[in-house]
Amino acid sequence: LNPLYAGLPTTIFEVMSGLARTHAAVNLGQGFPDDPGPLDVREAAARAVVDGWNQYPPMMGLPELRQAAAAHYRHWQGLELDPDAEIMVTSGATEALAGALLALIEPGDEVVLFQPLYDAYLPLVQRAGGIPRLVRLEPPSWGMTSEKLDQVFSERTKLVLFNNPQNPTGVVYDRAQMQLLADYCVRFNAYAVCDEVWEHVVFDGLTFEPLMALPGMRERTVKISSAGKIFGMTGWKVGLVFAAPHLMKVLSKAHQFLTFTTPPNLQAAVAYGLGKPDDYFTTMRAGLQRSRDRLATGLKELGFDVLSSRGTYFLSIDLSPQSVSIDDEAFCLDLVKTRKVAAIPVSAFYAQDAVKSVVRFCFAKHDATIDRALEQLAGLA
Ligand code: PMP
Ligand code: GLN
């Protein structure tokens, strides 16, 4: 048995969703919406199944989807991408991440990662033989500084794995922070693998900017997107990878022996969905922003210290200013049992020196779900 896997705990999302089922709790843990997703996109998938889009599609993805993605990202992010040479479809962002890390890392290469980190990152980096160099981010701003980056970047840095908008913190890094990171990538000739799955889920009128668009980054960046997040249908494992041709050639070699393809019916539906009018995306953002505000206001009224969230499905509370003296994990275990509300302890996103006072809630829920959770949390803070 490989000790790396033998030693891994079950992912916190699976654990908390299991506890939510056991205790019949309101599940604000694992990030998935109450809403079933846009009907027309679901119908497009159903039609594609019935019409016979069910055999192996091309390895790089349906041409229709790659063309739709090129148009979508030109329109929304100003990127010029060649659908034949710079776009690949994968089975979710998770496959894209695995493939990118397997293809780019050679054993012994150093990889810069930010904590809190999405839980798939570290095992993937380690399995690829990479040596993690962790930057510890802290509430309330979760900001990067040159002092922090100085400690981890060196000539040995092969790549940085960067998540923006960031899960679990809800931070959307601004231009100055991204420029800082881009400067280090250029200075140390490092690749950037950018997990931008939450790119459409940004609030307060923010415009999402991909790291790939910054000067010097186009040739060294692998951008990763997820249809599951773009359309709020998290079980749809359709990922998109964008990279310059010299990188894509190698990334496609990883993809060909990980999954080779992705269900063509879902690809056809995603191709349709990416062409939906702006209105769909702005309405989705506005709806999620309302839900964020509903949960944030409710938690504040209950006396919790709510941290800022500018994107993703998530907001967090910081327990440290409260009289709550237990750590985030104990807090969440108690919460799901006694209050019947599931949440995620943010310490699960740290490999070492964890911040142990922050708890993440998913607000991509109907008003009634949010209100029920709030009622059950009353009197706790
Ligand atoms: N990266 C981040 C930051 C995520 O939050 C998620 C899913 N929640 C993923 C990757 C995985 O995306 P997918 O479901 O498309 O594999
Ligand atoms: N991305 C989702 C979250 O952060 C969960 C993904 C998963 O369950 N692996 O809650």
CATH at 167: 3.40.640.10
Angle between helices 92-104 and 245-258 (to 10 degrees): 110
Q: How far is the CA of 92 from the centre of ligand 1 (A)?
A: 7
> Same domain, yes or no, for 250 and 295?
no
3-class DSSP assignment, residue 305: strand
**What is the pLDDT averaged over residues 169-178?**
97
End residue of a domain, out of 219, 245, 276: 276
> Same domain, yes or no, for 58 and 17?
no
Q: pTM for the complete prediction?
A: 0.97
The answer, yes or no, to whether residue 290 has pLDDT greater than 70, is yes
> Same domain, yes or no, for 327 and 187?
no
The predicted-structure confidence for 250-277, as pLDDT tens digits, reads as follows 999 999 999 999 999 999 999 999 999 9
The predicted-structure confidence for 101-127, as pLDDT tens digits, reads as follows 999 999 999 999 999 999 999 999 999
DSSP label at residue 173? -
> Same domain, yes or no, for 223 and 321?
no
**What is the pLDDT averaged over residues 191-218?**
98
- pLDDT value of position 380: 86
End residue of a domain, out of 276, 303, 324: 276
Residue 170, ligand 1, Cβ within 6 A: no
> Same domain, yes or no, for 290 and 259?
no
CATH code where residue 362 lies: 3.90.1150.10
> Same domain, yes or no, for 272 and 285?
no
3-class DSSP assignment, residue 145: coil
Ligand closest in space to the Cα of 234: 1
> Same domain, yes or no, for 92 and 198?
yes
In sequence order, what are the residues at sequence separation of 6 or more whose Cβ sits closer than 8 angstroms to the Cβ of residue 372?
Answer: 26
Mean pLDDT for the chain overall: 96
State how far the alpha carbon of 204 is from the alpha carbons of 133, 207, 209, 320, in Å: 33, 9, 15, 27
Mutate to test the pocket of ligand 2, among 234, 349, 361, 365 (most ligand atoms within 8 A of CB): 234
End residue of a domain, out of 225, 246, 276: 276
pLDDT-based confidence at 381, cuts 50/70/90? confident
The answer, yes or no, to whether residue 323 has pLDDT greater than 60, is no
Mutate to test the pocket of ligand 2, among 15, 19, 30 (most ligand atoms within 8 A of CB): 30
Ligand closest in space to the Cα of 11: 2
H or E element, residue 372: helix 367-377
Burial pattern 296-322, b for ≥16 Cβ within 10 A else e, equals: bebbeebebbbbbbbbbbbbbbbbeee
> Same domain, yes or no, for 286 and 269?
no
| Residue range(s) defining the domain that contains residue 24 | 3-30+279-377
pLDDT-based confidence at 326, cuts 50/70/90? confident
> Same domain, yes or no, for 26 and 74?
no
Q: How far is the CA of 208 from the centre of ligand 1 (A)?
A: 17
Residue 237, ligand 1, Cβ within 6 A: yes
- pLDDT value of position 322: 66
> Same domain, yes or no, for 265 and 355?
no
Mutate to test the pocket of ligand 2, among 13, 201, 226 (most ligand atoms within 8 A of CB): 13
Q: Rounded CA gap, 142 and 114, in Å?
A: 10
> Same domain, yes or no, for 155 and 110?
yes
Count how many domains the chain has.
2
Pocket of ligand 2 (CB under 6 A): 11, 13, 30-31, 167
> Same domain, yes or no, for 235 and 293?
no
Protein residue whose Cα sits closest to atom 9 of ligand 2 = 13
- pLDDT value of position 324: 58
Q: How far is the CA of 299 from the centre of ligand 1 (A)?
A: 26
Q: How far is the CA of 155 from the centre of ligand 2 (A)?
A: 33
